[in-house]
Amino acid sequence: MEKSQAMERDSISTARMLSEALPHIQRHDGSIIVIKLGGHAMSSAEAMQSFARDIVLMHQCNLKPVIVHGGGPMIDEMLDKLKIPTKFIDGKRISTKETVEVVEMVLSGKVNKTIVQAINGQGGKAVGLSGKDADLLQCKQADIDLGMVGEPVSVNADVIHSLLENGFIPVIAPLGAGMNGETFNVNGDTAAGAIAGGLKADRLLLLTDVDGVKDKEGDVLTNLSADQVNAMTSDGVIAGGMIPKTQTALDAISSGVRAVVIMDGRSPNACLLELFTDHGAGSMIRK
C-alpha cells in the first residue's frame, strides 16, 4: 500500500513539473540552442545517455539543439598511447601537425560518433560533422607559438540551418579549415561561441565542470550583464580558466546570441533545468 502511494505521489509530482514547464517550452518554441559538451561531461556511459535523452526531449519540444563537443581527456589518453609528447603554454596545448592528426582522429571519430549514436539511440536524428565540412568553420592561425590552433573568422551557417530545417540534430567536432587547406584545432568553447554567433542562437549553453561564475564569497551568480562580467574580470574576481569562458560568452552576445549560460554539465538534466524551469541552472550572461 505504501509503495503504491509513493508511486502515485511521484506521478503527481512529475505531472506538476511537466505542467509548470509549459510556459518555458512555449517561450523557446523554434529556438536554436547551441550546447558545448565538454569532455568531462562525457565521463560515463550513464551521463552520456542522460544527456542524449535531454537533447531528444528538447527536440521533441520543437527546440533546435546544436551540439559542439570537446574531448580533451580522450585526446590526452590517445596521445599517451601513441607516446606523442604534449607541451602547453599557459595551459594551452601546442598543436603540432602530428598532434592535430590525433585530435582530428579522436574528435571526428570516436567522440563525435559516440555522441551521435547516443542521441540516435534515444530516438533522435543526429548527424556528425566537423568544422571542416562544407567550410563550416573557416579559421586563421590564432598564435604561431601554439602551432595549428585556429581562430574562427567565418561560419557557414547555411549547412547547419539546412540540417535543422530537415529535422536533424547537428553534432560538431571543433576543427577548422584554413584558407590554404590546413586543419586547425579549435578550442571547443571558442568554436561553440562562433557557431552560436553565426546562427544568432537564442541560447549558448557552456557545459563545464563548475557551477558557474562565482562572486568573491564563492556564491554562484545566476544573472550577469556584460558590463558586470567586464568589471569582475578587471577586479580579479573572474580569473583563471573562467576568463576564456566568460570571454566566449561576451563574444557570442556581441555576435547576436541572446544569452549565454555557464553551468555544470555533470549535474543530471542540467540543460532541461536551465531551459524549462524558473530557477534555471548556472550563470546566465546577457547583453
Helix or strand (DSSP H, E) at 242: helix 242-254
Lowest mean pLDDT among 6-15, 163-172, 179-188: 6-15
Q: State residue 148's pLDDT score.
A: 93
Going from the C-alpha of 64 to that of each of 137, 202, 230, 276, the distances in angstroms are: 20, 10, 30, 14
Q: Name the average pLDDT for the chain.
A: 90
Q: What amino acid positions are annotated as catalytic residues?
A: 36, 39, 72, 189, 245
Tell me how many domains the chain contains: 1
212-262 pLDDT per residue, tens: 999 888 899 889 999 999 999 999 999 888 888 999 999 999 999 999 999
Q: State residue 163's pLDDT score.
A: 97
Relative to beta strand 283-286, strand 259-264 is antiparallel
Question: Which triple of cell numbers denotes residue 200?
Answer: 544568432
262-278 pLDDT per residue, tens: 998 888 888 998 999 88
Q: State residue 40's pLDDT score.
A: 66
Confirm whether 73 is domain-assigned. Answer: yes
Question: Which triple of cell numbers denotes residue 43?
Answer: 565521463
Confirm whether 3 is domain-assigned. Answer: no
How many Cα atoms occupy the beta-carbon half-sphere of 146 within 13 Å? 18
Q: State residue 9's pLDDT score.
A: 66
Q: Is residue 89's pLDDT more than 90?
A: no
102-139 pLDDT per residue, tens: 999 999 999 999 999 999 999 999 999 999 999 999 99
Residue 281 per-residue DSSP state: S
Confirm whether 9 is domain-assigned. Answer: no
CA 158/CA 143 separation, integer angstroms: 28
32-51 pLDDT per residue, tens: 999 999 866 676 788 899 99
Global pTM exceeds 0.85: yes
Confirm whether 272 is domain-assigned. Answer: yes
Confirm whether 222 is domain-assigned. Answer: yes
Q: Is residue 151's pLDDT more than 80?
A: yes
CA 80/CA 92 separation, integer angstroms: 17
How many Cα atoms occupy the beta-carbon half-sphere of 138 within 13 Å? 10
Domain enclosing residue 193, as ranges: 23-286
Share of the chain above pLDDT 90, in %: 64
In the chain the beta strands, taken as DSSP E runs, fall at: 32-37, 64-69, 88-89, 92-93, 126-130, 137-141, 150-155, 169-173, 175-178, 183-185, 203-208, 223-225, 259-264, 283-286
Query: What is the identity of the amino acid at 178?
Result: G
Confirm whether 132 is domain-assigned. Answer: yes
Confirm whether 11 is domain-assigned. Answer: no
What mean pLDDT do residues 79-98 have? 85
Handedness of CA 156, 184, 187, 42 (dihedral sign): positive
Confirm whether 17 is domain-assigned. Answer: no
Residue 97 belongs to a domain with what CATH number? 3.40.1160.10
